[in-house]
Structure 1
Amino acid sequence: MKRRFIKYIVAASLIFSIAGCKDLSEININPNGVDPSRANVNLMLPGLLSSLSGHYAILDNSLSSGIMQHMQEDGWFDGYNHYRWDSKDWGEWYEILANNDVMLKAAVTNQLPMHEGIGLVVRAFAFGVVTDLWGDAPYTEAIKANEQITQPKFDGQETIYKGILADLQRASELFQAGNTSGIIANNDLIYKGDIKKWHQFANSMLLRYAMRLSEKMPNEAAQIIKRVYDSGVYLSNTANNASVNYLGNTSGDSYFLATQFDADGSIFRRRKVAKTIMDLLIANKDPRLTVWVSPVHCQWVEDLTLSTAYDAFVRKNNVPQSYNSLTFVQYQTEIAAGHKFTRHYNPNILGYRLDTAKYVGVPAGSLEPSSYNLNPTPGQIVQNQHVSQLSAMYRQPTGTYLKRRLATTEETYFILAEAAQRGWIGGNAETLYNEAIKASLTAWGVPDKYAAYIAQPNVKYKGTLEQIIQQKWVASWNCATESWMDFRRTGFPKLVAGPASAETVLPVRFIYGNNEINANRENLEAAIEGLQETPYSKVRGKNSQWSKPWILQGTNKPW
């Protein structure tokens, strides 16, 4: 892998103002041969954490939330809704790893154990994303261009996962020692130099990757999870969740749907909640629903007295108007003034039923998603008035709940609940499951709704893995990549590909990219041979989003 050192403009300007570099030569360093004794670890730290969290958040925006049917798009939707993908390169992740390698070596050379621990977590996280999403990958020979290794071999997933666990264990030991020498709090975008919180984060990552191996290495996974659980050191308070805030200054550091950086608002307008999760939120009276989603602008009303199939025009406060739709801004203004918009329809004449709910999602993998629920304005110019938009907070560049999430308390408790359900730890599975749900409600600002929600018949703990994973899937909203990994591992929740999807089942990996095909073909071809072709691989053959990497082979999961 070619090794490059990126100067992060935002991070650098931040450091110049707070770190007081004495000599500009501190950053004027040859990127292909950095002397660890001269590399400024504090200068590199914010850029690394920003890049790591930013690229992880992009996964949710670009594909993960569509795969996992949290959201759907009603414009330019083939890749997002239907899994019609091209090959995908992983350069951004190896770029992070190359930059992190400089910091990590400098931390070791200069005896800065907290920076070393952070570097180990970053390395584990980035390699984890690569092997999770693609499969076998360059690992032991990666980022060694200075050693003349420009075509690194691909290591098997088992080797990579074991290396990830070793890095996280070593990081945990460094954090436990409590040495914060050299750390500048403001340069740590996640925890402001709090080494105890980094220790919790590292241990929660150990839980994540141990559980990732639950089907392939169950004994080793159980031992690691028990050790972490018995230590009591893991994310257990939502205030300590590992995340980076959006700054909201430019399109690059703002939430990806922010309308101030989208001239016509089309990016926000075409992103909708999937019916799969919407119907579950409604059925369970989930209090997070109103935090995440807005009501439809115009609600359908079933009217058996209507002499036509449906109203040609909308009704404002039940008075027919001369138009069949308004723009997003017009609806927002009118609704804010207290007006209610409806349209009536007669199912006996229409021949089928429309969705008359206050909150309506788009079915996964539908052929024409912008037409759903008899939208009078299909396409991308005007929003679908009969389907919910995301809540108003998602139009903003930054906000209390808009975060680049890396790991959370709710995920940690769900992992522990699963471990208890499997009999791997001594904790009570129901208690841990309840704590996970409470943490998620707290994280989204509705902790007072916990008692009512946990009492819902389909939420109250029943002792099954399916229920744990389903609730974990809901709680992974805005961070769906991890729920994709859970789905692959367990087959839960029982998601079904839509009628227009490229295949009848959900994909399980990314397609190796053209950069490797062009520059490292021999090693790539060996890795592709290690994939298990399935009945869904078809035209692409083994390098397909439906071919199984080692982590899934022999498990009969998720299909």
Structure 2
Amino acid sequence: MKYIAKLYKGFVMALVCCLGFTACDDKLDEMNVNPYGIDPAEVNPNLLMPSILASAAQSYASLGVNDMAGAMQHTQKNGWYDEHNNYSWEGKSWTGWYNILRDNNLLYERAVELDNAFFQGVSLTMKSFVFGNITDLWGDAPYTDALQGNLSATEYQFPKFDSQEVIYDGVIADLQAAVTLFNTASNESVVAANDLYFGGNAMSWKRFANSLLLRYYMRISEKKPDVAKAGIEGIYASGEYIQNVNQDAVLDYTGGASDIWITRHIALNPDDFQRYQACQTFIDQLMGTNDPRLSVWFAPVRVKWEADESLEVAAEDFIRNDGEPLGVITYPFDDFVNDYPNEDFTRRYNPTMVSYNDAEYVGLPPSLMVPESYNGNPSPGQGTQNQHVSQLADIYQSAGSAGDILKARLISSAEVSFIFAEAAWKGWNVGAAEDHYYAGIEKSLTTWEKAGDFEAFVAQEEIVFDNTLEQIMEQKWVASWTAATEAFADYRRTGYPMLVTGPQSPQPKVALRFQYGDDEYNNNGESINAALERLELTDYSGSFGKDSQWSKSWLYQGTNSPW
């Protein structure tokens, strides 16, 4: 997979080089052509697919583990945390997404030239996925003028920003076209290994495209309820959508040096990995419902606080192992605990003098002023390990221990079930909301290898279906672990789950969008100014003006969501 992608990139670089230099002789008007270069007009679509599919999935997973995980309070960081914890999304660049779209556009052009329905459908599906994420995160963006720029098309050098409505309409239209193409597509010319999602299976791609349609129909359901209702009911009736975990749209991580799960990249530097901490908001949800996924996602605290009112000091400055004092103080204790991972380490405190969280799983509250010092960490510092707060579980840093769990999930059967649960709650003809709600939970538990706990989990009073939107969205939020971008979209659309920000947040509400990047301000001022005029100031937009993380794009204007 990687060799093919790297080979193609090498060919493109060679082509660029050959175009950039002339022969060193007296015929300066003749081009020195690299005989080994590949003309993009002749490139095999199979060589384009791996780079597009891998980059899109990894970019989406990175959002779900980083900025969006912080915004949706799955995790917080205890070092270098402003973007993650506090919505410091100023000048966010979308260059990576548009780079994917450029390669994808070449895939589409080649597919049309070859009259290949399969590659056309793949390209339209990925175009929709990427543009959907761009408009979800920023709002208005270059769309109809995008991907048009070349040396003979100077009118597209400063592309206009289309409205969010136009982009969502285009995303839906392209997905509908992709579904039609997959109806007759043949995989005869497809190299199965280069289709990193579905191995060249057209029916799987059709289910993926229809499931993305479900996502975006629900996205616009407050603005265009009739369109959303008809679209979701039609797909439900067809049965051609992702129905089980084995059909999920995912990218596997093979474990190679350049293809390992996101947090394992930084696990090579322990300081980096230790920045990822559980968020107390999420811990409260998981512990409050005895959620079996808790131990899959997070590790217990390495040193558990124990209350002891007989202490004459606020807290001991040493560690206990199975209750017995150790001749080691807390400050240099990180390596010691790591050397003995299965020991029972505790530290005592006097609750009449100081307040600590003495639970087995402890998270950082959102947007703390000094998160690295939380819960009595005696050795605070950016990136240092806090033995009194839960980190990610060991599978997120130990190669070979995760089985098939860690994947980049673009859309899952669990998400699809929760979409149908919400649609049924709205009264649409898609079956029973209760059935879809429980199906979404069961599929998520199956994904995280906890299917055997389903019956006991859903029997709890807190989980038994109560026919409220809040409960549906709450469980969908839980199931969005590592795919928090979708939870972020749901939160802005519905206001659920009900999240509260912390003291370091610039505003007392969760942010709504990324700010536009500096390149747009520096190079496309007229277009970006028109887009800014279409943003809606809110009471929380603050000093940033319209291009604020707390301004509302079209999708949320005229609504009370999320506030």
Shorter-chain TM-score above 0.5: yes
Report matched runs for 1:5-24 at 5 Å: 11-13=5-7
List gaps (5 residues or longer) in structure 1: 1-6, 17-23
The percent identity for this pair of structures is 42
Work out the CA distance in 2 between the residues paired with 1:455 and 1:175: 41
For 1:303, which of 297, 308, 317 is the aligned residue? 308
Q: Which residue does 2:421 correspond to in 1?
A: 417
Work out the CA distance in 2 between the residues paired with 1:185 and 1:276: 42
C-alpha deviation, 1:424, in angstroms: 1.3
Q: Which residue does 1:445 correspond to in 2?
A: 449
- Whether 2:132 is the aligned partner of 1:128: answer yes
Q: 1:453 to 1:273 in 2, by over 3 A?
A: same
Question: Does the Cα contact within 8 Å between 2:309 and 2:350 map onto a contact in 1?
Answer: yes
Q: Which amino acid aligns with 2:276?
A: R
Q: Which amino acid aligns with 1:331?
A: V
Per-residue CA deviations over 1:233-289 (Å, capped at 9, x if unaligned) read: 111110111111123323x42222216x55541111111010000111011110001
Report matched runs for 1:373-392 at 5 Å: 373-380=375-382, 382-392=384-394
Q: Secondary structure at the match of 2:304?
A: strand
Q: Which residue does 1:4 correspond to in 2?
A: none
Q: 1:26 to 1:64 in 2, by over 3 A?
A: farther
C-alpha deviation, 1:13, in angstroms: 4.6
Question: Does the Cα contact within 8 Å between 1:314 and 1:342 map onto a contact in 2?
Answer: yes
Q: Which residue does 2:261 correspond to in 1?
A: 255
Work out the CA distance in 2 between the residues paired with 1:435 and 1:27: 53
Work out the CA distance in 1 between the residues paired with 2:36 and 2:230: 44
C-alpha deviation, 1:29, in angstroms: 4.1
Q: Which amino acid aligns with 1:256?
A: I
Question: Does the Cα contact within 8 Å between 1:112 and 1:181 map onto a contact in 2?
Answer: no
Q: Secondary structure at the match of 2:188?
A: coil
Q: Which amino acid aligns with 2:75?
A: M
Per-residue CA deviations over 1:138-182 (Å, capped at 9, x if unaligned) read: 111111113331111111111111110011111111222342231
For 1:266, which of 245, 265, 271 is the aligned residue? 271
Work out the CA distance in 2 between the residues paired with 1:300 and 1:349: 14
TM-score, with length taken from structure 1: 0.92
Q: Which moved more, 1:391-400 or 1:442-451?
A: 391-400
Count of aligned pairs: 535
Question: Does the Cα contact within 8 Å between 2:249 and 2:412 map onto a contact in 1?
Answer: yes
Q: Which residue does 2:558 correspond to in 1?
A: 554
Q: 1:433 to 1:104 in 2, by over 3 A?
A: same
For 2:37, which of 4, 24, 28 is the aligned residue? 28
For 1:118, which of 115, 119, 122 is the aligned residue? 122
Per-residue CA deviations over 1:322-360 (Å, capped at 9, x if unaligned) read: 323254442133233xx311111121132xx32111111
Q: 1:99 to 1:334 in 2, by over 3 A?
A: same
Q: Secondary structure at the match of 1:257?
A: helix
- Whether 2:288 is the aligned partner of 1:283: answer yes
Question: Does the Cα contact within 8 Å between 1:12 and 1:43 map onto a contact in 2?
Answer: no
Per-residue CA deviations over 1:481-507 (Å, capped at 9, x if unaligned) read: 000000000000000111111111011
Q: 1:8 to 1:101 in 2, by over 3 A?
A: farther
Per-residue CA deviations over 1:193-246 (Å, capped at 9, x if unaligned) read: 111111111111000000000111111011100000011111111011111112
List gaps (5 residues or longer) in structure 2: 11-32
Work out the CA distance in 1 between the residues paired with 2:9 and 2:543: 50
Per-residue CA deviations over 1:448-480 (Å, capped at 9, x if unaligned) read: 000011111111110000100010000000110
Question: Does the Cα contact within 8 Å between 2:278 and 2:363 map onto a contact in 1?
Answer: yes
Question: Does the Cα contact within 8 Å between 1:114 and 1:181 map onto a contact in 2?
Answer: no
Report matched runs for 1:48-63 at 5 Å: 48-63=52-67
Per-residue CA deviations over 1:290-349 (Å, capped at 9, x if unaligned) read: 11111111111112222322222111111122323254442133233xx31111112113
Q: Secondary structure at the match of 1:145?
A: coil
RMSD: 2.0
C-alpha deviation, 1:60, in angstroms: 2.1
Work out the CA distance in 2 between the residues paired with 1:63 and 1:335: 30
Q: Which residue does 1:495 correspond to in 2?
A: 499
C-alpha deviation, 1:84, in angstroms: 2.3
Report matched runs for 1:187-266 at 5 Å: 187-250=194-257, 252-258=258-264, 262-266=267-271
- Whether 2:510 is the aligned partner of 1:516: answer no
Work out the CA distance in 1 between the residues paired with 2:88 and 2:48: 37
Work out the CA distance in 2 between the residues paired with 1:117 and 1:191: 13
Q: Which runs of 4+ in 1 moved over 6 A?
A: 24-27
Work out the CA distance in 2 between the residues paired with 1:287 and 1:162: 39
Question: Does the Cα contact within 8 Å between 1:127 and 1:160 map onto a contact in 2?
Answer: yes
Work out the CA distance in 1 between the residues paired with 2:509 and 2:195: 41
C-alpha deviation, 1:61, in angstroms: 3.3
Q: Secondary structure at the match of 2:233?
A: helix
For 2:100, which of 78, 96, 100 is the aligned residue? 96
Q: Which residue does 1:472 correspond to in 2?
A: 476
For 1:177, which of 173, 177, 184 is the aligned residue? 184
Work out the CA distance in 2 between the residues paired with 1:405 and 1:364: 25
Q: Which residue does 2:168 correspond to in 1?
A: 161
- Whether 2:336 is the aligned partner of 1:334: answer no
